Amino acid sequence: MSITLSQYLTTAVQNNLIDSELSALISAVAQLSKDINDKVTHGALAGVLGMAGTDNVQGEHQKKLDVISNEIFVSGVEWTGSVAGMASEEMDDCLVTPSQFKRGKYLITFDPLDGSSNIDINAPIGTIFSITKAPEGEITNESFLIPGRQQVAAGYVMYSPQTILTFSFGKGVVMFTLNMNTGNYILTKENVQIPATTEEFAINMSNMRHWAAPVKEYVKDLLAGKDGPLGKNYNMRWVAAMVAEVHRVLCRGGIFMYPWDNRKPEQPGKLRLMYEANPMSFLIEQAGGAASTGKGAILDLQPEKLHQRVPVFLGAKEEVARVEEYHKKF
């Protein structure tokens, strides 16, 4: 029998795995993702492609769908009674739940549309979210600076040939696929596990000349294949959307890497800790994998600011450990 998201969450509440507020919040994310999916699906027909003519807090040019998706996400969760505040990659500062809505016990951070460079070419994109407990008192940017280890739930929605909601509330990773005929998310995979070893890696090779020595050396050894020091052949993949890269790792293993590079040496990495690295690392660890900056677990980092960036190496445990060994050597 097919299990809907609503049935799954109701059972989780009844079994005291989550509370009703967290259930309502995940349900709201699922519901708003259908609106984003509709905009993505219609693309040029809905006039949502192209640039918005604005920049986000990181100084990146926003696409129209970035702005639209952010608005859909905010309006989709603020009324739930589950959140005290929210923070987005597309907003300078956090947003406190408006006074006309009940204040909830959770904070939610999100990247409303990951992989913006793929929007206009109809390649996979997604939405990433992270949920933590809200502190007592006034909600400020500092309220969100909680180590990823303390997340109570995290997940993503991938908009592709299938629309897939993947999440965890600390009891393993589950995947739901959107039935476009009924509008229901249906459970299609549970207890997702990542093999400890792999022969597949994902990294943007065009940046190799900019990487630090340990990453250059590691990738050089990957490319050396069976005759090199690692003794096996590796395949490379690159989709240029973290949601798609992590989804592939969860489905068939591998390692995904987005290291520091010297084009902006003052910037620790490219990916954002709060909106991308923490939620994805939570999923990866829940699936038996590992996630590291190259020098330690991402989930153990104490965030210093809302839009902090970090280097990311995540996926098969043995390969992530190997990356850390290369960093130690240098």
pLDDT in tens, 84-135: 999 999 999 999 999 999 999 999 999 999 987 787 788 899 999 999 999 9
Q: Across residues 50-64, what is the average pLDDT? A: 60
125-139 per-position pLDDT tens digit: 999 999 999 999 999
Q: Which amino acid is at 97?
A: T
* pLDDT surpassing 90 at residue 306: yes
d(CA 291, CA 312): 7
Tell me the residue ranges of DSSP E strands in 97-184. Answer: 106-114, 125-133, 153-159, 163-168, 174-178
CA dihedral 222, 224, 228, 232 (to 10 degrees): 60
Q: β-strand 51-55 against 174-178: which pairing, if any?
A: unpaired
Cβ atoms of 81 and 33 within 8 Å: the answer is no
Give which of 36, 40, 58 is closest to 118, Cα–Cα. Answer: 40
* Residue extents of the structural domains in the chain: 5-189, 200-329
| Predicted local confidence at residue 2, as pLDDT | 94
Annotated binding site for Mg(2+): 89, 111, 113-114, 276
What residue numbers does the annotated binding site cover?
A: 89, 111, 113-117, 204, 270, 276
- Give the integer Cα–Cα distance in Å for 320 and 253: 12
Reported as a single tens digit per residue, the pLDDT across 228-268 is 999 999 999 999 999 999 999 999 999 999 999 999 999 99
CA distances (Å), 126 to each of 61, 160, 217, in order? 18, 8, 32
Mean pLDDT of 211-234: 97
Is the pLDDT confidence value at 52 over 70?
no
Q: How many CB atoms lie within 10 A of CB 310?
A: 24
Q: Tokens in use for 39?
A: 């905009």
DSSP string, 58-70: TSPEEEHHHHHHH
Binding-site residue positions for substrate: 114-117, 204, 270
**pLDDT of 314 higher than 80:** yes
Q: Give the mean model confidence (pLDDT) for residues 205-215.
A: 97
Q: Tell me which CATH code domain 200-329 carries.
A: 3.40.190.80
Give me the chain's average pLDDT, please: 94
Neighbours of 191 (CB within 10 A): 11
Q: Which tops the pLDDT comparison, 243 or 56? A: 243
- Whether 53 shows a pLDDT value over 80: the answer reads no
Note the CATH number of domain 5-189: 3.30.540.10
Calculate what percentage of the chain has a pLDDT beyond 70: 94
Number of residues that this document lists for the chain: 330
Buried b (16+ CB within 10 A) or exposed e, 1-35: eebebeebbeebeeeeebeebbbbbbbbbbebbbb
